Amino acid sequence: MFAGPGTVLFLAVVIVPFVYGLYLTFTSWDGVSLSKPFVGLQNFADAFKDTTYWQAMGRTVIYSIFAVILINIVAFLLAYLLTSGVKGQNFFRAGFFVPNLIGGIVLGYVWQFVFNRAFVAIGKALGNAAAVSLLSTPNGAMFCLILVSVWQYAGYMMLIYVAGFMSVSNDVKEAAMIDGCTPSQAMWNVTVPLMRSSFVQCIFLSITRCFVVYDVNLSLTKGEPFGSSVMAAMHVYNQAFTYKNYGLGQAEAVILFLVCAVVGVTQVMVGKKGEVEA
């Protein structure tokens, strides 16, 4: 009974829209007209032929690989530093978490200003008169996206790693040291395996978020320059709403969801297998 309201809400805001969305993939609806002609699997066939979509998808994969690795390395190192007893570590933990509290849209605009104005001004001040914004080249824009994502999520993942570090009791570490481990050996052979679940969680969260990145993409690069930084989610949005191919966009969204789900679930299954307990 107490699950009732929750179930109703879940049905209303997740399941029903999802099923309705699936239905729309079988229509050639343009998003505004009153008629929704049924076209069967045509949208999925078109989605597989849509080269810009697959380019955007490829770009998203590359972006995700770099971003996920960097986010987790940075987050892990921060967590390590901030559990080793640095003075004011609680303050720093809060500080590194703050970027995550700023919404992606605002974050994107702030960094756009930094890349377009601040860095260019610094470059000019340092004597490089031809300094241009990183955002004006395709590779530069990609680099900026990855950098901002790392900055945004590292603090969040750091908190999970901090919890992981704290969950490993000092007893096992001391035992390892007494048995002759160096601190770094104790780290790699005892602490890290014991906090494996933190890694699984963090990597899962960062993969799923990177795959469907939209807000930072929109406000930082808007897909520019010349459409070279359009990620899969943005392409889906454009396809559905800007180009008015709602059915096709929805079909591409479903494919994106499946890819994201397969990657995420595989990673969790592989990660869970090797989990150990003290």
Partner 1 sequence: MKRAIALILMLAMVMALSLSGTAYAANKVTLTIFNSKMEIQSQMEEMAEEYMDTHKNVEVEVYYSSDTVAAHMSTKYASKDPYVLAMVDAKDIFSLGPDHALDQTGEPWVAETTQAISVDGKVLGFPFCVEARGILYNADAIEKIIGEAFDPAAYKTTAEFSALCDKLVAGGMEGPTGLQKEDWSLGAHFMQEVYEMHDDPDAFIAGIKDGSVKLAEDNVFNALMDTFDVLKANNWMKAAPLSAVREDTEMNLAQGKIAFKFGGNWDWSDIKDFDPAENMGMMPVPSDLEGYNEKLVGGGSKYFFIDNSVSEEQQAAAKEFLNWLVFEEDGQNFLVNTCALVPAFGNITLPVSDPLGASVKQYVDAGAMIADYRYAPDDHYAKVGISFQKYLADQIDRAGLADEITAYWATAEVGAH
Shortest distance (Å) from residue 115 CB to partner 1: 9
- Which of 68, 75, 135, 159 binds partner 1 (CB under 8 A)? It is 135
5 part of the interface to partner 1, by CB under 8 A: yes
C-beta closer to partner 1: residue 1 or 126: 1
Q: With binding defined as CB under 8 A, does residue 126 bind partner 1? A: no
**Does residue 242 touch partner 1 according to CB under 8 A?**
yes
**Contact with partner 1 (CB under 8 A): which of 97, 99, 175, 224?**
224
Using the contact rule CB under 8 A, the part of the chain among 39-47, 184-192, 238-246, 259-267 near partner 1 is 238-246
Pick the piece of the chain touching partner 1 (CB under 8 A) from 76-84, 88-96, 172-180, 239-247. 239-247
State the minimum distance, in angstroms, from the CB of residue 133 to partner 1.
4
Binding residue for partner 1 (CB under 8 A) from 36, 173, 196, 244? 244
Buried b (16+ CB within 10 A) or exposed e, 125-149: eeeeeeeebbbeebebbbebbbbbb
The continuous run of DSSP H or E covering 12 comes out as none
Specify the residue for token string 């972006």.
Answer: 63
170-to-105, 166, 196, 275 alpha-carbon distances in Å: 41, 9, 17, 19
Q: Please select the residue that binds partner 1; options are 123, 227, 264, 271, rule is CB under 8 A.
A: 227
Q: Which residue has the tokens 């597989």?
A: 48
Whole-number minimum distance, CB 248 to partner 1, in Å?
12
Tell which one of 130, 170, 178, 277 touches partner 1 (CB under 8 A).
130
Q: Is residue 276 involved in binding partner 1 (CB under 8 A)?
A: no
Report the C-alpha gap between 208 and 257 in whole angstroms: 9
CB atoms within 10 A of CB 193: 15
Range 48-56, long-range pairs (CB < 8 A, 24+ positions): 50/239, 50/248, 50/252, 52/227, 52/230, 52/235, 53/232, 53/235, 53/236, 53/239, 53/252, 56/230, 56/231, 56/232, 56/234, 56/235
CA distance 68 to 206: 6
Between CA 54 and CA 142 the distance in angstroms is: 17
Rounded to whole angstroms, the Cα distance separating 269 from 184 reads: 28
Closer Cβ to partner 1, 57 or 82, answer by number? 57
Please, what is the angle between helix 246-273 and helix 196-211, to 10°?
Answer: 170
Residue placing its CB nearer to partner 1 in the complex, 19 or 73: 19
Scan residues 9-38 and list those touching partner 1 (CB under 8 A): 30-34
Q: By the 8 A CB rule, do 232 and 223 touch? A: no
Closest contact distance (angstroms) between CB of 35 and partner 1 is: 9
Among 99, 225, 264, 271, binds partner 1 (CB under 8 A): 225
CA distances from 159 to 12, 82, 275 (A): 32, 10, 20
136: contact with partner 1 by CB under 8 A: yes
- Stretch binding partner 1 (CB under 8 A), from 60-68, 142-150, 219-227, 270-278: 219-227
The site for partner 1 (CB under 8 A) is made up of: 1-2, 4-5, 30-34, 116, 120, 130, 132-133, 135-136, 224-227, 237-238, 240-244, 246
